[in-house]
A and B are shown apart, each in its own frame.
Chain A
Amino acid sequence: MATIISPKQFSPVEDAENIKKACQGWGTDEKAIISILGHRNLFQKKLIRLAFEEIYHEDLLQQLKCELSGDFQRAISLWTLDPADRDALLAYEALQKTTPDCRAIVEIACTGSPEDLLAVKRAYKFRYKRSLEEDLASCTSGDIRKLLVAVTSAYRYDGDEFDETVAHSEASVLHKEIHEKAFNHEEMIRILSTRSKAQLNATFNLYKDIHGRSITKGLLGGPSDDYFSALRTVVRCIRDPKKYYAKVLRTAINMPGTDEDALSRVIITRAEKDLKEIKELYLKRNNVSLDAAVGRDSSGDYKAFLLALLGAE
């Protein structure tokens, strides 16, 4: 469930005008911006952007970029974008880093539905005049390239049908490869990148039933290189994305000097989807609420904005 609190009645024109007012003069009224944008859902934000464009002949995002700065600016800009466009931008940024952020790519490719991934790829082509796959292929190499391009190119079957026999045989294949520590094997990539989520979850469940340990535990025994950690991320995102995100948040917060990128990314991309459940899992695991952890570890307008997304009034 979403954590975002948005009003039932609202006026996009009024919101656009208020945001403009907040940006005028020497300083910027960040609190006003947070109180508006931090409390609007997907459709409302879209309408506000349109209204802003119509009234002021300017892109709201451009205005925000000029007026704000730092983590806060980045977070608000990401929040204001359409989800598919946002993911496309995040994917692009992930690839531009010196060592591509494979985790972010896997999240985008594996936690959403096949249609979501398709929308991201379309948005990427529109923004960057190249396909996501071709950029991915040119920024990475070796086994990690094979894995990432495969999971990003996939257009998985989206239904609930799965084949018990296939689940059996593929659970064996996966176990054999994990057991023999031959993690680079073609078969593992094939199974993880082409099978539907329903099929994979059936396979994962059977794996646990037959071998006593979950596949994620099984993968723990492998090397800690990029390829292998991407492989684990793929499995986690497919099996239990909410648990995965709770873990990402925990790591981001517990790091010395919080990983703002990861923190923003998870909160912003999940606020309208399942952040509520992720919060509950976080609380269970860490005995402190996510709100409290964010409050403690970040500051200023950035903090206020994240808390708004987390459900603060």
Chain B
Amino acid sequence: MADLEALTKAFSGIGVDENSLISILANSNHEHKKSLRKGCSKFFIEDDNGFERLHQSTVKNLKLEFKRFRDAVVLSLLHPWERDARLIEKALKQGPRHYSVIVEIACTRSSDELLGARKAYHSLFDHSIEEDLASRIKGSERKLLVALVSAYRYEGPKVDEDVAKSEAEILSSAIKSADKRKPIEDEDAIMILSTRSKPHLQAVYEHYSKICGKTITEDLEAEGILKDTVECLCTPATYFTRVLEAALSVDADEESKRALTRVIVTQKEFMVKEGNVLNKIQGILTGSYKDFVLGLVAGGKN
């Protein structure tokens, strides 16, 4: 029946269609709800003890989807410094699979924005970001992540082409010796990526392509965090597009979907240009969450 379809639809997609739910359920009597439950095998199964039980996975998903609007609102309300500090702290707590968030923040923010996040972290957690990362991360990414988060890069346009060329060679040999030593642990590569200015790194990448015939991102395809680092530093648009597409794809997991809120809230200007993604959002998002996201993007034009 129509209500059954509407109910299923209200819970599909990213976010929850609150208005539909109100009109279907608020005035629904006992019999009506029973027939909804019986008809909706996607969310309910017949329990042996004679009642229609909600799927455990549905319980989990509903919680996440209802939370989405709330999280977007809170994230957009926070001061950017507090926001970034909290995102980093959370990513650190969640473990290695989430470290790309740390890379994202450390590499796509300006020097002063990153500094602000470090100050906010002091106030919120009574520690510095670098001390928490250094003491809690045990794997090979530790050196790189601590270095990236400690960066206070020069932001002017001045670039030394000779230095850029020799540093492209250093990176190339670090990547080529992957069988002897993981590139992510190469001291020289870490120094270059964590201390040089972004315009300088842009020049380094260009020299790299000339020397190696491939772009540095192509050569780092298998390197996860290191690839993210290189992308975020000079071609953040590519990185963010990739993250958004993963979030909106059919088999996106919760982590990927959460990235959607994070990217939209923190990268409003980027979102304005992303016509392709916006169309997808129209189709996939629903409810207050969708309205909020579209509102944020429209506001980003200001």
- State whether A149 and B154 are in contact (beta carbons under 8 Å apart), knowing that A118-B115, A155-B130, A194-B134 are contacts in the complex: no
CB of A261 closer than 8 Å to a CB of B: no
Mostly, the B contact residues are helix
**A176-195 interface (Cβ within 8 A of B):** 186, 190, 193-195
**A115-160 interface (Cβ within 8 A of B):** 118, 121, 125, 129-131, 133-134, 136-138, 145-146, 149-150, 153-159
User: Is A157 a contact of B128 with CB atoms below 8 Å?
Assistant: yes
**A154-179 interface (Cβ within 8 A of B):** 154-159, 161, 166
CB of B286 closer than 8 Å to a CB of A: no
Chain A: how many interface residues by the 8 Å CB criterion? 31
Q: How far is the CA of A199 from the CA of B195 in the complex (A)?
A: 27
User: Is A196 a contact of B128 with CB atoms below 8 Å?
Assistant: yes
CB of B135 closer than 8 Å to a CB of A: yes
User: Is A190 a contact of B128 with CB atoms below 8 Å?
Assistant: no
For residue B60, give the distance in angstroms from its CB to the closest CB of chain A. Answer: 35
For residue B130, give the distance in angstroms from its CB to the closest CB of chain A. Answer: 5
User: Is A157 a contact of B131 with CB atoms below 8 Å?
Assistant: yes
User: Is A155 a contact of B154 with CB atoms below 8 Å?
Assistant: no
B119, B122, B146, B195, most chain A CB atoms within 10 A: B195
- State whether A149 and B128 are in contact (beta carbons under 8 Å apart), knowing that A118-B115, A129-B154 are contacts in the complex: no
Residues of B within 8 A of A149 (CB): 147, 191, 195
For residue B138, give the distance in angstroms from its CB to the closest CB of chain A. Answer: 11
Chain B, residues 113-141, CB within 8 Å of chain A (1/0): the string is 00100110010001110110011000000
CB of B187 closer than 8 Å to a CB of A: yes
For residue A114, give the distance in angstroms from its CB to the closest CB of chain B. Answer: 8
User: Is A137 a contact of B152 with CB atoms below 8 Å?
Assistant: no
**B137-186 interface (Cβ within 8 A of A):** 143, 146-147, 150-156, 158, 163
For residue B42, give the distance in angstroms from its CB to the closest CB of chain A. Answer: 49
- State whether A131 and B152 are in contact (beta carbons under 8 Å apart), knowing that A146-B187, A149-B191 are contacts in the complex: yes
Residues of A within 8 A of B118 (CB): 155
Residues of B within 8 A of A157 (CB): 122, 126-128, 131
B115, B119, B135, most chain A CB atoms within 10 A: B135
User: Is B154 a contact of A194 with CB atoms below 8 Å?
Assistant: no
User: Is B191 a contact of A145 with CB atoms below 8 Å?
Assistant: yes
**B193-237 interface (Cβ within 8 A of A):** 194-197
User: Is A137 a contact of B195 with CB atoms below 8 Å?
Assistant: yes
B134, B146, B156, B192, most chain A CB atoms within 10 A: B134
For residue B108, give the distance in angstroms from its CB to the closest CB of chain A. Answer: 18
For residue A170, give the distance in angstroms from its CB to the closest CB of chain B. Answer: 9
Residues of A within 8 A of B126 (CB): 157, 159, 161
Q: How far is the CA of A121 from the CA of B111 in the complex (A)?
A: 12
Q: How far is the CA of A255 from the CA of B155 in the complex (A)?
A: 42
- Closest A residue, CB atoms, query B158: A129
User: Is B150 a contact of A153 with CB atoms below 8 Å?
Assistant: yes
User: Is B187 a contact of A154 with CB atoms below 8 Å?
Assistant: no
Mostly, the A contact residues are helix
Q: How far is the CA of A154 from the CA of B121 in the complex (A)?
A: 13
User: Is A130 a contact of B197 with CB atoms below 8 Å?
Assistant: yes
- State whether A154 and B150 are in contact (beta carbons under 8 Å apart), knowing that A134-B195, A194-B134 are contacts in the complex: yes
Q: How far is the CA of A145 from the CA of B147 in the complex (A)?
A: 13
Residues of A within 8 A of B195 (CB): 131, 133-134, 136-137, 149
Residues of A within 8 A of B131 (CB): 156-157, 194-196, 199
Q: How far is the CA of A121 from the CA of B107 in the complex (A)?
A: 19
Q: How far is the CA of A129 from the CA of B158 in the complex (A)?
A: 7
Residues of B within 8 A of A134 (CB): 153-154, 191, 195-197
For residue A297, give the distance in angstroms from its CB to the closest CB of chain B. Answer: 39
Q: How far is the CA of A130 from the CA of B128 in the complex (A)?
A: 24
User: Is A125 a contact of B130 with CB atoms below 8 Å?
Assistant: no
- Closest A residue, CB atoms, query B155: A125
Residues of B within 8 A of A166 (CB): 135
- Closest A residue, CB atoms, query B143: A186
Residues of B within 8 A of A158 (CB): 122
For residue B230, give the distance in angstroms from its CB to the closest CB of chain A. Answer: 17
Q: How far is the CA of A56 from the CA of B118 in the complex (A)?
A: 43
Report which of B127, B147, B155, B158 forms a contact with A153, defined as CB distance below 8 A. Answer: B147
B131, B153, B163, most chain A CB atoms within 10 A: B131
User: Is B135 a contact of A190 with CB atoms below 8 Å?
Assistant: yes
Q: How far is the CA of A154 from the CA of B196 in the complex (A)?
A: 16
For residue A160, give the distance in angstroms from its CB to the closest CB of chain B. Answer: 10
Q: How far is the CA of A70 from the CA of B196 in the complex (A)?
A: 35
Residues of A within 8 A of B115 (CB): 118, 155
Q: How far is the CA of A244 from the CA of B119 in the complex (A)?
A: 29
26 A-B pairs with CB atoms under 8 Å apart are: A125-B152, A129-B154, A129-B156, A130-B154, A130-B197, A133-B195, A134-B191, A137-B192, A138-B191, A146-B187, A149-B191, A149-B195, A150-B150, A155-B115, A155-B150, A156-B131, A157-B122, A158-B122, A159-B126, A161-B126, A166-B135, A190-B134, A190-B146, A193-B130, A194-B131, A194-B135
Q: A118-B152, A161-B126, A194-B128 are in contact. List 6 more A-B contacts (CB 8 A).
A: A125-B156, A133-B195, A149-B191, A153-B152, A155-B150, A157-B131
